[in-house]
Structure 1
Amino acid sequence: MSQIKLLDCTLRDGGYINDWNFGFQTIRSLIRKLIEAQVDYVEVGFLRNCEYNADKAVFNNCSEMIPILPDKRGNTKFTAMALHNKYDVEKLEDYDGDTIDAVRVTFHDYDIDEGLAFVKSVKEKGYQVFCNPINIMGYTDAQLLQIIDKVNQIKPYAFSIVDTFGSMMKEDLLRIYSLVEHNLNKDIIIGLHLHENLAQSYALAQEYIELQSGNRKSVIDASMFGMGRAPGNLCMELIMDYMNRKQEGHYNVNPVLDGIDEHIVHFKEIEPWGYNIAYALSAKYNLHRNYAEYLLEKGRLNAKQINQILSQIETNKKTVYDETYIEKIYLDFQSNIVDDSDTINVLKKKLDKKRIIVLAPGSSLSSYKDDIHKFINSGENVIISANFIPINYKIDFAFFSNARRYDAWKEQIDEKKCIISSNLLEEGRKAEFIVNYSDLSIDDNGRCDNCTIMLIKLLRKCGIQDIYIAGFDGYDEAGNNYIDTYMVSIHTKGKEENVRIKKYVDDLKDSMMNLIFLTPSKYE
């Protein structure tokens, strides 16, 4: 029989997808299918200081788990996970063999001693204890050896290699496993928990299995259909099948497949998980995934810029997400302060006594094309486009503040007619006019880096009060938002962005600017 066991963490790690609200009957059904599949360990959820809800896989104590656990369990054992600083260990009853058999304890690199003290407390209550340090890829070899030495003194049931940010490559696994295997007390089981940031979990699990000497027991974590906080986990159905083929495994895959079809597919339709660029980028720098999410959701940075910003994150900030910190780095990166006083003066002269028309890239530029052209032909204008080059309109200037948009049009841009904000200094250094990004994107009301708003603010700096605007339609979640489909992005905002931009438009009007909309707009 193989020394390698499988632990299903669907109800715990998968709970990040649905706030652990699987529903009481679904929780019971999944547990029974996993028992039928002969999975070695089933993690039933989190131990956490919470308000108990029978539909959620989160519990204050073991007594609250009794309704979901069947009497007939076969050889399957049950576990729950606790983050030491989110659970009062005094709530945990002494082990009695009637509920869970093990508790998995997690902690960060900055609170190791507190986490290990928690491990010791749980062990004293009679449970098997898994020691799961968060982000083992963030430890140096020396730090890893130090924690192993401390773990050996406590002697928990298992010590897990947890690739929290999914940044592990084959050579990393070989290095870390070698350190753990040769220095961890031989009676302590080694666990492995992988994530799918780099689409490597299945390959790494196979590599890990090949590394086993047979002299030590191991536990590999997986979840049904890989369910877990995006990008997800190792798929239980795949690793079960692999174990059956290569390790004389005893697993029955069919109940797991049935559970996926009956329950898990539904959750994935609501909140998908799987390989995603944001999580690949976060894994590249071994960062908390929210840093890459924050930058990608801006929808204004190209891949090179995102990489440049992520590479600046300090080691002591990588593990725990700090939105204030990443926002400052983002703003500093975008600013690239330049002296634009001469540029503003030149623009003032070019715009003086002209009728100013701003073309934003909304779909109304197409649907109201005849009306817009009629208005253009009725006077002497200076026409400025915002983050694009219109095909059916002749422009005098193109203003860009978005690196992605600039990249899309840079081959067609007339540099002598190009105005860029200074965050594009590297990409657009040949542009005739460069203006300060921070002056246009930040004011007393906060930050708004919408290109059209920034352009209106630039025109205000140039002494313009009356501005005619077309194509500034606003976001419609169910509609066609852009004049060209290439502009459509998963990062396009909805109602909240409309409210935010409307406030800026109103503030600009209050500052004595006269904004006249030539096409329908949610900002009128």
Structure 2
Amino acid sequence: MENIRLLDCTLRDGGYINQWDFGEKTIQSIIARLTEAGADIIEIGFLRNCTWDKDKTVFSSIRELKKLLPVNPGETRFAAMALHNQYDVENLEPCDGSVEIIRVTFHDYDIDEGLAFCAKVKEKGYQLFVNPINIMGYSDRQLLDLLEKVNRLHPYGFSIVDTFGSMTGKELIRIYSLCENNLEKDIVLGLHLHENMAQSFSLAQSFLKMREPARSCILDASLNGMGRVPGNLCIELIMDYLNKHFGKSYDIDPVLDAIEESISPIKKLEPWGYMAEYFLSAKYNLHRNYAEYLLTKGSLSSRDMHQILQMIPEEKKSVFDQKYMEYLYHQYENHTVSDEKTLEALKKAFSGKKVLLLAPGPGLEKYRRQTEEYRKAQSPISVSVNFFYDRQEDGYAFFSNSKRFQEYRSLRKSGIQVILTSNISSGIRPQDHVINLYRLSSEEEGSGNSGILLLKLMVLLGVKEAALAGFDGYRKGGKNYLPGYFGGFSGTPLGDNQKIAGEIKKIREKLPVTFVTPSVYEEEM
């Protein structure tokens, strides 16, 4: 079945995980393993306007790329990709046969510019592959118009690229049918899938079943699915499937060796794979940067992200607009409630009192004796921050992080009252105290930290003194949370220690703040 081939895109698409910094020896090893396995085509990386680094798979010329190719590649062919507006095609040398295929990408808003670039690639003797970004964003009419232009150019191949991982089986049938019936029969048809909805392998099988036998096709895949999160079709899976059902003879063992030797170590540091947040971006056919932007906030639950992502209008979906995303995020976070009576009740409870604020740093347990001595001597009101503390029998629990509240709300204790900020929208009980987030937050650096927000609330409530326990700060390579809380999450970047310490110093001008347990913040002040 020579008209079904596989293209491995690990060194190109996988580079989004590690900034294409595989290391020279690893690049050569991956190529050698894939060649040994019988991979039909290996995409070595991107062509870009850049200064070449021999350890990276981003190149400014084919001459640089050739230095990584094996002397005896067997039947394996090599490819590179260029985004038309990120590479000067005049720097592309005429094809000498070492790299035969150049794949060119462009958006739906710059089709003509992209195809003009494609024409120049073809003129230089390369087998041209046209890879339009986000084919799911094309209507039938738009796709037919594009295919008409592609036929006039007559490239070697044309790819169905599911950029945002939003394709379903029904959509694949629609797009494949349009391509099969309107693309010149000698143009190879490619398929590039993503794992947003955990169905790339299933869609690949469907594609192979529906394809016309006379049409040559190429499927993209990568080692262990390595690619921009959530990842790609796994080449080891599709190789095995083609061996079993289409008479192929790929050698899986070298692929498994490559995964073990070169890919698994990267995945331990920078994991990829299905994530619910990327399913949500795919559900609405959104640029994945929208989901990634919200993930960086660290305080949003999947439910929150769902609510925000569905507000993005059609005209904003395919190209990431950070300013607009920031607007939606702040609009969502600044949801307001009527909190005057709540504030009045809390002021009656807290005004003029001493408080003991409990954060989930390891020091809370390590120095428990000091905390207990303070509690017995001062009789403060205890307030935990973003968790329900097992040893706390009375007082309050404060949550401003929606993700943490959704994670731990089932652990509520009967003797603990709950204070929430207004950005938390679900799981609220009638007796909970909800405070408008805008009363506590500001644009100042560090002010989004939940401990800082709680201290600001204490100022607002007129407390007499605040003592901090478990506010350890963040240490590189250390355990930053109590065992059993927040999983393996390592915490805020170390640079925030200074920011948070600065915020505490400002708050001390209005409220006496002491540390009951050791803290990096105290060291920074």
1:178 and 1:517 map into 2 onto residues whose CA distance is 68
Aligned residues: 521
1:106 and 1:47 map into 2 onto residues whose CA distance is 11
Matched to 1:117, the amino acid is: A
CA offsets per residue over residues 92-116 of structure 1, 9 Å max, x none? 122233x211210011222222211
- Which residue of structure 1 lines up, in the alignment, with residue 421 of structure 2? 421
- Which residue of structure 2 lines up, in the alignment, with residue 336 of structure 1? 335
Q: Does 1:521 align with 2:519?
A: yes
Q: Does 1:13 align with 2:17?
A: no
Matched to 1:276, the amino acid is: M
User: Cα distance 1:39–1:504, how it changes in 2: closer, same or farther (>3 A)?
Assistant: same
Matched to 2:438, the amino acid is: S
- Which residue of structure 1 lines up, in the alignment, with residue 360 of structure 2? 361
SS of residue in 2 equivalent to 1:80: strand
- Which residue of structure 2 lines up, in the alignment, with residue 154 of structure 1? 153
Deviation, 1:170, is: 1.7
CA offsets per residue over residues 460-485 of structure 1, 9 Å max, x none? 12333532222222234544434451
8 Å CA contact retained: 1:297, 1:491: no
- Which residue of structure 2 lines up, in the alignment, with residue 62 of structure 1? 62
8 Å CA contact retained: 2:446, 2:496: no
Deviation, 1:241, is: 2.4
8 Å CA contact retained: 2:276, 2:302: no
SS of residue in 2 equivalent to 1:485: coil
- Which residue of structure 1 lines up, in the alignment, with residue 271 of structure 2? 272
8 Å CA contact retained: 1:130, 1:158: yes
- Which residue of structure 1 lines up, in the alignment, with residue 384 of structure 2? 385
CA offsets per residue over residues 436-469 of structure 1, 9 Å max, x none? 11221224x2463222211111121233353222
2:272 and 2:147 map into 1 onto residues whose CA distance is 33
- Which residue of structure 1 lines up, in the alignment, with residue 4 of structure 2? 4
CA offsets per residue over residues 126-166 of structure 1, 9 Å max, x none? 21111101121222223222222222222211110111122
Deviation, 1:520, is: 1.5
CA offsets per residue over residues 196-242 of structure 1, 9 Å max, x none? 22322222111111111112111111122322223222222322222
User: Cα distance 1:272–1:365, how it changes in 2: closer, same or farther (>3 A)?
Assistant: closer
- Which residue of structure 1 lines up, in the alignment, with residue 412 of structure 2? 412
Q: Which moved more, 1:210-219 or 1:309-318?
A: 309-318
- Which residue of structure 2 lines up, in the alignment, with residue 23 of structure 1? 23
CA offsets per residue over residues 28-58 of structure 1, 9 Å max, x none? 3433443333322221211111112223222
- Which residue of structure 1 lines up, in the alignment, with residue 141 of structure 2? 142
Matched to 1:359, the amino acid is: L
CA offsets per residue over residues 329-353 of structure 1, 9 Å max, x none? 2221121123434433333333233
Deviation, 1:71, is: 4.7
User: Cα distance 1:166–1:490, how it changes in 2: closer, same or farther (>3 A)?
Assistant: farther
Matched to 1:161, the amino acid is: I
- Which residue of structure 1 lines up, in the alignment, with residue 465 of structure 2? 466
Matched to 2:344, the amino acid is: N
Identity of aligned residues (%): 48
- Which residue of structure 2 lines up, in the alignment, with residue 451 of structure 1? 450
1:432 and 1:73 map into 2 onto residues whose CA distance is 67
User: Cα distance 1:447–1:266, how it changes in 2: closer, same or farther (>3 A)?
Assistant: closer
CA offsets per residue over residues 261-307 of structure 1, 9 Å max, x none? 44333433443333333333332332233332333343322222121
- Within a 5 Å distance, the mapping from 1:479-490 to structure 2 comes to 479-483=478-482, 485-488=484-487, 490=489
CA offsets per residue over residues 345-383 of structure 1, 9 Å max, x none? 333333233223322233333333333233223345333
Matched to 2:258, the amino acid is: G
User: Cα distance 1:415–1:309, how it changes in 2: closer, same or farther (>3 A)?
Assistant: farther
Matched to 1:3, the amino acid is: N
After TM superposition, the score normalised by the length of structure 1 is 0.91
- Within a 5 Å distance, the mapping from 1:40-189 to structure 2 comes to 40-97=40-97, 99-189=98-188
1:374 and 1:54 map into 2 onto residues whose CA distance is 60
1:380 and 1:93 map into 2 onto residues whose CA distance is 78
CA offsets per residue over residues 144-195 of structure 1, 9 Å max, x none? 2222222222221111011112222222211211121112222221100112
1:307 and 1:210 map into 2 onto residues whose CA distance is 34
8 Å CA contact retained: 2:8, 2:39: yes
Q: Which moved more, 1:277-286 or 1:144-153?
A: 277-286
Provide structure 2 residue ranges, at least 5 long, that are not aligned to the other structure.
Answer: none
8 Å CA contact retained: 1:415, 1:430: no
1:323 and 1:213 map into 2 onto residues whose CA distance is 42
Matched to 1:434, the amino acid is: V
- Which residue of structure 1 lines up, in the alignment, with residue 442 of structure 2? 442
Deviation, 1:417, is: 3.5
1:94 and 1:86 map into 2 onto residues whose CA distance is 19
RMSD, matched Cα: 2.6
8 Å CA contact retained: 1:385, 1:395: no
- Which residue of structure 2 lines up, in the alignment, with residue 374 of structure 1? 373
Matched to 1:518, the amino acid is: V
Matched to 1:521, the amino acid is: S
Deviation, 1:432, is: 4.8
8 Å CA contact retained: 2:395, 2:415: no
After TM superposition, the score normalised by the length of structure 2 is 0.91
SS of residue in 2 equivalent to 1:424: coil
1:61 and 1:342 map into 2 onto residues whose CA distance is 68
SS of residue in 1 equivalent to 2:12: helix
SS of residue in 2 equivalent to 1:481: coil
Matched to 2:496, the amino acid is: E
1:480 and 1:96 map into 2 onto residues whose CA distance is 55
8 Å CA contact retained: 1:227, 1:273: yes
SS of residue in 2 equivalent to 1:171: helix
Provide structure 1 residue ranges, at least 5 long, that are not aligned to the other structure.
Answer: none
User: Cα distance 1:123–1:400, how it changes in 2: closer, same or farther (>3 A)?
Assistant: same
Q: Which moved more, 1:462-471 or 1:476-485?
A: 476-485
